[in-house]
């Protein structure tokens, strides 16, 4: 997938170049395009192997050919940032923003520079702009307000965020500290909230504020009582289910916790980040259980509507780390149904099948994916590994030799290919070829 993104970016750059050359001699246009293409691919190649100086040289040549292309200045900024040349990176990102202020990632580049150099006041200005692209950047703004001592602004923003979603753990921590600080100068917040509930028991927000207050004070039992009161006064409150979910988890009641979680996930009002957090908590709770598989599957399907994250893949990663091979494969297959060309999911699926020693499935999957990614050496290696372990040594050799042609500047990968080739030839009784490849593998091993 990385290859395709780079090619797409390059096509976009070329798209900027061609109109400017439309009135020139066709032979001259071809020559300039070839030069720009070569320089751009050289920059991509050098950046991939962390030769940032050489990447900068190549990008600067591209800019000479197309000085008004914002994407090129963005690439220049990234490489300067990696070299910790912050002034040069700032200039490059600012130029990209000036040329195209509607591209979020150019602003993000400036933010990276200012945050890294601890220029928080400048960071605040940039983050306010980034919020126009992504509401989630409000969390960054809260942190920056705290760093710069603007506690009232931070608390005001947190209260605004809480009206539309439940705060993350970090934001809850900030809210607790800032609320404690505010409460010392503003009377008893608890009393005010309890009075507000008594005067208007159908006002959901007062319950939420009081629940948050108790949570921040580490008074979970009181928070649960408020959640129960909210559920009684407003039976259809989806927010009450959040606290009840946590209560049921603490009580080790997985069935009721799952029921509350699914109600929250079906809500159109509750923030998607909070939904993901509930799913993560339930995953941890049910990691070694099988009786909640149906509810877990329903939860993943409900969150699959979120196009910003492949939930099935994230769940698969959780089970992969737990060495639960069966569930890892199950959720990776679901992930690939949503995005059949997602390389991370494909790679993880092959890793999982190899760890599970499911060599028949590994051979089938690796060969299928070779059709999609014919230049990806990892696929050939796994196909070779699978056939080797199935005793099909000639097929293993064919895949390993083909894949070795695509290994570039990767001694580790080259070592594994040569070692497995040597072992495959040994199994066939070809000692000459076996020694040749094993000798090469030994040489590569000494370089690791």
Concatenated DSSP letters for 380-399? HHHHHHHHHHTT-HHHHHHH
Longest dimension (CA), the chain: 90
CA atoms within 13 A on the CB side of 245: 22
Spatial CB neighbours of 75, under 8 Å, sequence gap ≥ 6: 43, 47, 55, 59
Instruction: Please state, in angstroms and as integers, the Cα–Cα distance from residue 116 to each residue in 112, 119, 122, 140, 144, following that order.
Output: 6, 8, 11, 13, 13
Spatial CB neighbours of 378, under 8 Å, sequence gap ≥ 6: 347, 350, 403, 413
Sequence-separated contacts (24+) of 256-260 with Cβ below 8 Å? 257/282, 257/285, 258/282, 258/292, 258/295, 258/296, 258/299, 259/295
Domain ranges of the chain: 170-232, 236-309, 357-448
Structure tokens at 141: 């703004």
Query: For position 183, what pLDDT does the model report?
Result: 58
The pLDDT profile of the chain, 448 residues, written as one tens digit per residue, is: 333 333 334 334 434 333 333 333 333 334 346 677 888 888 888 888 888 899 999 999 999 888 899 999 999 999 999 999 999 999 999 999 999 999 999 999 999 999 998 888 899 999 999 999 988 899 999 989 888 878 888 888 988 888 888 778 888 888 877 877 765 555 467 788 888 899 999 888 888 888 777 766 667 678 778 888 888 888 778 778 887 888 788 788 889 899 989 988 888 777 777 788 888 888 888 888 888 888 888 888 888 777 778 888 988 998 898 888 998 999 999 899 888 999 999 999 999 999 999 999 999 999 999 999 999 999 999 999 999 999 999 999 999 999 999 988 888 899 999 999 999 999 999 999 999 999 998 888 776 5
Q: What is the chain's length?
A: 448
The answer to pTM > 0.75 is: no
User: Domain 357-448, what fold?
Assistant: 1.25.40
Q: Are 212 and 175 in contact (CB under 8 A)?
A: yes
The rounded distance, in Å, linking the Cα atoms of 107 and 27 is 37
Instruction: Please state, in angstroms and as integers, the Cα–Cα distance from residue 340 to each residue in 313, 315, 317, 356, 383, following that order.
Output: 12, 17, 17, 22, 19
Q: Are 320 and 352 in contact (CB under 8 A)?
A: yes
Query: What are 173-230's pLDDT values in tens digits?
Result: 888 778 777 655 554 677 888 888 999 998 888 888 887 777 666 676 787 788 888 8
Query: How many other CB atoms sit within 10 Å of the CB of residue 39?
Result: 20
């Amino acid at each position: 997938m990385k290859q395709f993104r780079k090619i797409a970016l390059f096509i976009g750059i070329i798209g900027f170049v061609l109109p400017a050359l439309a009135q020139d001699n066709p032979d001259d246009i071809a020559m300039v395009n070839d030069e720009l293409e070569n320089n751009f691919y050289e920059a991509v190649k050098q950046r991939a192997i962390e030769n940032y100086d050489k990447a900068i040289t190549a990008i600067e040549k591209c800019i000479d050919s197309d000085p008004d292309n914002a994407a090129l200045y963005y690439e220049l900024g990234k490489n300067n940032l990696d070299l910790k040349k912050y002034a040069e990176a700032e200039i490059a990102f600012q130029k990209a923003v000036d040329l195209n202020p509607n591209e979020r990632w150019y602003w993000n580049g400036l933010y990276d520079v200012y945050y890294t150099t601890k220029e928080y006041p400048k960071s605040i200005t940039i983050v306010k702009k980034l919020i126009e692209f992504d509401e989630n950047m409000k969390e960054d703004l809260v942190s920056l307000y705290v760093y710069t001592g603007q506690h009232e602004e931070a608390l005001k923003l947190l209260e605004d965020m809480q009206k539309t979603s439940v705060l993350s753990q970090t934001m809850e921590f900030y809210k607790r500290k800032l609320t404690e600080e505010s409460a010392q100068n503003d009377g008893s917040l608890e009393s005010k909230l309890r009075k507000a509930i008594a005067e208007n028991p159908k006002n959901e927000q007062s319950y939420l504020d009081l629940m948050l207050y108790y949570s921040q004070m580490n008074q979970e039992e009181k928070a649960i009582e408020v959640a129960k009161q909210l559920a009684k006064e407003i039976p259809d409150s989806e927010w009450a289910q959040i606290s009840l979910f946590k209560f049921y988890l603490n009580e080790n009641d997985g069935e009721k916790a799952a029921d509350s979680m699914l109600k929250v996930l079906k809500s159109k009002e509750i923030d998607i980040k909070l939904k993901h957090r509930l799913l993560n908590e339930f995953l941890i709770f049910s990691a070694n259980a099988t009786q909640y598989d149906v509810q877990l599957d329903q939860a993943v399907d409900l969150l699959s509507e979120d196009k910003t994250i492949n939930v099935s893949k994230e769940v698969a990663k959780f089970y992969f780390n737990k060495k639960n091979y069966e569930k890892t494969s199950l959720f990776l297959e679901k992930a690939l149904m949503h995005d059949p060309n997602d390389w991370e999911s494909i790679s993880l699926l092959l890793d999982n099948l190899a760890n599970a020693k499911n060599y028949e499935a590994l051979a089938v999957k690796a060969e299928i994916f070779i059709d999609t990614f014919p230049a990806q050496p990892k696929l050939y290696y796994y196909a070779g590994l699978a056939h080797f372990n199935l005793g099909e040594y000639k097929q293993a050799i064919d895949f390993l030799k083909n894949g070795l042609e695509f290994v570039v500047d990767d001694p580790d990968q080259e070592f594994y290919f040569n070692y497995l080739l040597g072992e495959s030839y040994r199994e066939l009784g070809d000692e000459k070829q076996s020694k040749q490849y094993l000798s090469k593998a030994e040489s590569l091993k000494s370089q690791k």
